[in-house]
Structure 1
């Protein structure tokens, strides 16, 4: 990969020049850093929205007199909606750009939060959760794709930072719940948490609308090179100029629009990557939303019904999620995304097995540390890696669509976890539910050990790599003057 000097004007001839200039940067700073953290800000909002309901679930259940089935439907409904809007968000992002669906997602999040906050019935909450599901589904598919396109190749494991941001949002919600409890608001405490979600949504919407810039990589891959140069100048300074028409390199191997584009991820070298990313995403979603999301409820069952004690225990567990989430980039660099997922799933299996067999007889210190170990290994490994794997395994014009498909599969896992836990707990009890759930990380660990692909352990990058399925003729059929863009390589 040729170095890209930023001291003199740089001539942009094609998408490979855009990619090389981004990869040449040693860090993500300036406007690029603002955009990077604003994309993560949307994921913070998704986590905040989900955990706001989790923190106030017991008071809401009492306040609205909800049955176990209604609780299961209410908590899982946004994930069922996200199944549809993950691929829709990815399709919009691959066709019209990364920024429009991100803005739409924030508007949907604010509408959903306002509806839930002001609702007085189960049906109104369900409508509000529909809008939350639209936001959640669209945002994750697009934000991770955008983060991948703003991240230099040597820093690509930093995509896992989103997991630490997720747990910061969860812990902030739990801390706010304790503050609202001190106001003596009773079982209406959940309304205050949702109100803060609406406020956060408005703040993120304002800053994303003001500061986001379209991905130059996506623009260049769409043959909109002049717009890509404008975007590069906005992001990195006025150092880029458009090459004369005679020097511009055409985009080779660009996929067709529509379903045929998305179907490429199920062909050739992409198929095992899709299987790996989908397995990690589905199974981590089931184990998190079937166990981690219900930690306030689990804490109440293990340590008593007192709201303060249960919330403090849940906060203690989730602090380990912050530690694991922000360590996950370093863990990914050292072990690779695949191995760290496999090991994380294996530990999660042992933890759930232990809780299923001994949670009623463990000493207090073990009752605190064992669930904390579950959250630590989940956030440090598979919790972060499912979305990072799908974001790093496919070329630019497939990336958001692939994230949408894999995200939809993950949303199925989330919906199953959210729905299964309260129903199974009601039918079989907490310990048996832990034992049933332990089968999920066991299966995922086996798959991760079996499939060798890891985007952090290869010098071949997805953009126009040899052997990748594409609709254009094979690379060898082009004259040298029209050779495809150079492959990105790790340093």
Structure 2
């Protein structure tokens, strides 16, 4: 049987059409595996299914973070909580996510993507059921903390799957795959509000106090579905496996998931990536190569999380209290805003990732958010219906800018600023900072909203302004860039030395 030796040019192989490959490719190193992945999977392969399952994990993250939003007022009333206690219950999930992200990022690089993903789904099942049955605020807070730990574990591994099972350039590239986390997130948020709306219509008025419990417990259902299907389609990242020196394992994954036939050169000496997984890799994120990328990703992620969590978690409060609307209008408006603005914006972020790029779309998005928040702060509590409508449109504009801008591309920067050897750690650090910002936001919003009323929008507006200024100072475009080539360039340099 004849064989085809891979070209040494990453760009040439990345643009090669592997769908017409008629003979197996020879694998001599992890770089060869990376080039095959970057070129894209064969039609009909399982790569897209792996991406879909990874997005299912993101769906769970978003659902669990959102599911408490509408019921927080009922919880406060049922458990007689003060605004500070409400802040603690609301932010418990992000406290867990901080710890989970720090640990999950390291474990994703250390023991692999597959094992971490297998484990974190169990957190969602146990925590969702415990939260739905919570007899008091302490148990509820503990269950939400456990749920947050699962969220923190999941996001680094989900982003690794999205980045490492997609091509480097063209339509559907790595940036588009990672950006798809955003519409998946908003789809989950919309499903959450749709479920709340359905339960609100079905439950007798005397039993509406159960609404928040049923909403939280439902989070176990999609987690169980993912657990049921994951073993059939999910496998380890071929690039991660190759970086560990397991070229045979990487070849099997390429065949199973990518539909690509490969032959491992028997006398090839497996060469690992230049970095083993270690806690010291956190320091590498701030070396001369990655420092500016790390700062940019951290600012976009943290600022986006602070503003978004205040708005999306506070949306029922904003509509019900600031805009003085009833429960049904609050639920319907929250659902409509997510579907019509946030979800659509997220789809646009995915579609434009390969053509316009992450930097421009993020810049446009945070600029729109800043304008929208200044408008909301200026309107205050609207008295006339026309101002109520304008305020809702401004909320929609904020969510639309979030969708195609920092919502889509905060993860693009966090995931694609680093090669495979650093990706788990990079996303883990980013998510630790992001969840810290979420914790501050979720804790402060009930307190600031009670003290400042609509003036709280002036405070929230500082978040997109910070992102805007940082983007103008650091112009880094990750879309279409083969960041793994940096790892293999180090390997070549080490061999030459």
1:141 is aligned, of 140, 143, 156, to 156
Contact 1:299 1:311 in 2 (8 A): no
Residue 313 of structure 2 aligns with which residue? 293
Residue 476 of structure 1: how far off its partner (Å): 4.3
Specify which of 85, 105, 112 is matched with residue 90 of structure 1.
105
Comparing 399-408 with 345-354, which one deviates more in the overlay? 345-354
How does the TM-score come out when normalised to structure 1?
0.91
Matching of residue 373 in structure 1 with residue 401 in structure 2: no
Find the partner of 1:441 among 448, 454, 464.
Answer: 464
**Residues 1:477 and 1:148: Cα distance change in structure 2 (over 3 Å):** closer
1:44 offset after TM fit, Å?
A: 0.3
Q: Is the 8 A contact 1:145 1:400 kept in 2?
A: yes
SS in 2 for 1:259: coil
Distance 1:29 1:162 in 2: 22
- 8 Å contact 1:102–1:139 — kept in the other structure? yes
2:311 and 2:55 map into 1 onto residues whose CA distance is 24
Give the drift of 1:139. 0.4
Q: Secondary structure at the match of 2:354?
A: helix
Residue aligning to 1:344: 365
Aligned residues of 2:346 and 2:404 also touching (Cα < 8 A): yes
Measured in 1, the distance between the counterparts of 2:23 and 2:347 equals 36
Counterpart-to-counterpart distance in 1, 2:388 and 2:101: 41
The answer to whether the 8 Å contact 1:326/1:380 transfers is: yes
Counterpart of 2:495 in structure 1 is 478
The CA distance in 1 between the partners of 2:196 and 2:426, in whole Å, is 36
| 2:243 and 2:271 in contact (8 A); partners too | no
Partner of 2:118: 103
Q: Counterpart of 1:278?
A: 298
Query: In 2 relative to 1, CA 299–381 (structure 1 residues): closer, same or farther, beyond 3 Å?
Result: same
Match of 1:151 in 2: 166
**Cα distance in 1, alignment partners of residues 107 and 44 from structure 2:** 28
Displacement of 1:28 in angstroms is: 7.3
Which of 456, 465, 478 does residue 479 from structure 2 map onto? 456
2: CA distance, partners of 1:404 / 1:263: 13
Residue 356 of structure 1: how far off its partner (Å): 0.8
Displacement after TM superposition at 1:365 (Å) = 2.6
Tell me the secondary structure at the aligned position of residue 465 of structure 1.
helix
Point out the more displaced range, 2-11 or 397-406. 2-11
Q: Distance in 2 between matches of 1:302 and 1:315?
A: 18
Contact in 1 for aligned 2:98/2:149 (Cα 8 Å): no
Provide the secondary structure at the position in 2 that maps to 1:153: coil
Aligned length: 471
Contact 1:316 1:372 in 2 (8 A): no
Hey, what's the Cα distance between the residues in 2 that align with 1:113 and 1:10?
A: 46
CA distance in 2, matches of 1:410, 1:122: 25
Q: Which runs of 5 or more structure 1 residues have no equivalent in the other structure?
A: 483-491
Secondary structure in structure 2 of the residue aligned to 1:11: strand
Question: Structure 1 CA distance, aligned partners of 2:324 and 2:298?
Answer: 37
- The secondary structure found in structure 2 opposite 1:241 is strand
Correspondence for 1:408 among 423, 432, 457: 432
Contact kept, 8 Å, 1:22 with 1:150, in 2: the verdict is yes
For 1:91-122, what per-residue CA distance to the aligned partner results, in whole angstroms no more than 9, with x for missing partners? 11101110111122110111111111001100
Is contact 1:60-1:188 (8 Å) kept?
Answer: no
| Mapped partners of 2:458, 2:334: distance in 1 | 21
Task: Tell me by how many angstroms 1:135 deviates.
Answer: 0.7
CA displacement at 1:71 relative to structure 2: 1.3
Aligned twin of 1:427: 451
Q: Which deviations, in whole Å up to 9, do the C-alpha atoms of 1:30-59 show, x marking residues without a partner?
A: 311111100000000111111111132222
Deviations 1:367-386 (A, max 9, x none): 22110000000111001211
Shift of 1:457: 6.1
Secondary structure at 1:335 match in 2? coil
Which residues of structure 2 form unaligned runs of 5+? Answer: 1-11
**Separation (CA, whole Å) in 2 of partners of 1:294 and 1:6:** 53
Conserved in 1, the CA contact under 8 Å of 2:66 and 2:189?
yes
Assess if the C-alpha contact under 8 Å between 1:86 and 1:138 holds in 2.
yes
Instruction: Decide which of 15, 24, 27 is 1:9's aligned counterpart.
Output: 24
Are the equivalent residues in 2 in contact too, given 1:40–1:143 (CA < 8 A)? yes
Post-superposition shift, 1:326? 1.1
What is the match of residue 411 of structure 2? 387
The reply to whether residue 254 of structure 1 matches residue 274 of structure 2 is yes
Structure 1 residue aligned with 2:5: none
Aligned residue number for residue 374 of structure 2: 353
CA distance in structure 2 between the partners assigned to 1:344 and 1:138 by the alignment: 28
Asked whether the 8 Å contact 1:344–1:378 carries over to 2, the reply is: yes
Indicate yes or no: 2:217 matched with 1:202.
no
- RMSD in angstroms over aligned alpha carbons? 2.0
